[in-house]
Amino acid sequence: MQVFHARKDGASSESRSGTFTGTVWGDPIMPTTDNVTIGNVFFTPGARTHWHQHELGQMLNVIAGSGWVCLEGQPPQRIRTGDVVWIRPHERHWHGADKDSYMLHTATSIGKTDWSSAVTDDQYPGA
């Protein structure tokens, strides 16, 4: 058993860039342990991930706000506070905030994450 304590006093949230569009902040909850990483991710309005996939899947638990999630080849789906999304292993997808709302979710990622290209404004209904 391991206990992971909350962020230490005075520690800053992490600015996320490179694999995100817009302003995105992250707070690790659990560092990668036994191939699982858990973190809170805060998306400002219109901010989103790039296309990506997870080796063994990902669960998103929307804590506040609203946004979008999309699997490659399918239409985007709206997500909001209280929703839980399970993304199967190797499903290429993206997620982020709506144009008029922030979104905070807890992401549980299992295995390696493979990042790809940015999601364009034309592909993103929250832009």
Q: Encode pLDDT of 74-87 as tens digits.
A: 999 999 999 999 99
Q: Is 32 within a domain?
A: yes
Q: Is 8 within a domain?
A: no
pTM of the model: 0.93
Q: Is 86 within a domain?
A: yes
Please report the pLDDT score of residue 94 as a whole number: 98
Residue 56: Cβ within 10 Å count = 13
Closest by CA position to 113, among listed 29, 23, 20: 20
pLDDT band at 127 (very low <50, low <70, confident <90, very high): low
Q: Is 5 within a domain?
A: no
Please report the pLDDT score of residue 57 as a whole number: 98
- Give the residue numbers spanning the domain of 58: 23-115
CATH assignment at residue 61 = 2.60.120.10
CB 53 within 8 A of CB 90: yes
* Residues 31, 23: Cα–Cα separation, whole Å: 22
- Whether residue 12 is predicted with pLDDT greater than 90 in this model: the reply is no
Q: Is 11 within a domain?
A: no
Q: Is 2 within a domain?
A: no
Q: Report the b/e string of 30-49 with b at 16+ CB within 10 A.
A: eeeeeeebbbbbbbebbbbb
Please report the pLDDT score of residue 119 as a whole number: 96
Give the count of domains, the chain.
1
Q: Is 35 within a domain?
A: yes
- Whether residue 123 is predicted with pLDDT greater than 70 in this model: the reply is yes
Spell out the long-range contacts of 12-16 with Cβ–Cβ below 8 A and sequence spacing 24 or more.
13/42, 16/41
Q: Is 27 within a domain?
A: yes
